[in-house]
Amino acid sequence: MDFNKATIVKLRKAGEEFEVLVELEKALKFRKNEIISLDDVLVADTVYKDSKKGMRASENEMKKIFGTDDSRKVAEIVIREGNLEVNADHKRKLFEEKRKQIVSIIHKNAIDPRTKLPHPPQRIEAAMIEAKVKISEFKNAEDQIQDVVKQLTGVLPIKFETRIIEVKVAAHFAGKVNNVLKNFGKIKKSEWGNDGSLKAEVEMPAGLSTEFYDEINRISHGEIETKIIS
């Protein structure tokens, strides 16, 4: 790869700045553990103090700040903890992807404590805009949820909880319904009758319950009994 097209990752630690050159998309995947090999990410197997000037970090500097003079170990720390320099268009794209992931997590796992129903994605998005919620395009969505919910306080009531739902279904729909249970949550109890009928309890995020009811009713044509256990 052309060095001029490489992305710089910068990490400031203990008053010192360190840089590595990476391929942007691969560095992002590396942070998500979708790529394991450092060789796929690094454009240059070097840790810099200033990559544009070609100033390398010395072994003594790395040892002092990171506790090791192994440039590959230091490079991995810089990639995982540092700031990626990306252009505005790509940054906007990453931001939108992260925002959608956060909205999806809240929609699937949380409910409105007043109605006991999940918030529609559009309502969550509108609330995030109203509350001027700040998110990072580089951090994992899961790691930002707690902070996002805190920022939404006073704008959107949110409660994270799980539900255990009991299901009873006749033999001719039992197999398909059992597959749905596996897809939506953890089966806590399962009893198959001599006639092939199924009685089961499934635990799932409360936010998925509406979608769950829609799916099992569609498959069974409404010939199913459900009850919230907890």
Q: Which domain holds residue 47?
A: 3-84
- How much is the pLDDT for 5? 72
CATH number at residue 48: 3.30.1250.10
C-alpha span between 118 and 159 (Å, rounded): 9
- How much is the pLDDT for 2? 59
Per-residue pLDDT tens digits of the chain, which is 230 residues long: 556 678 999 999 999 999 999 998 899 889 888 888 999 999 998 999 999 999 999 999 999 999 999 999 999 999 999 998 888 888 898 899 999 999 999 999 999 999 999 999 999 999 999 999 999 988 889 999 999 999 999 999 999 999 999 999 999 999 999 999 999 999 999 999 999 999 999 999 999 999 999 999 999 999 999 999 98
Q: At what angle do helices 88-109 and 141-151 cross, to 10 degrees?
A: 70
| Strand residue runs (E) in 127-179 | 159-160, 162-169
Do 150 and 191 belong to one domain? Answer: no
Do 166 and 138 belong to one domain? Answer: no
- Look at the chain and report how many structural domains it folds into: 3
- How much is the pLDDT for 1? 54
CATH number at residue 223: 3.30.70.240
Query: Residue 94 phi/psi, 5° resolution?
Result: -65, -40
| H/E run at residue 125 | helix 121-130
- How much is the pLDDT for 152? 97
Do 192 and 134 belong to one domain? Answer: no
- How much is the pLDDT for 114? 93
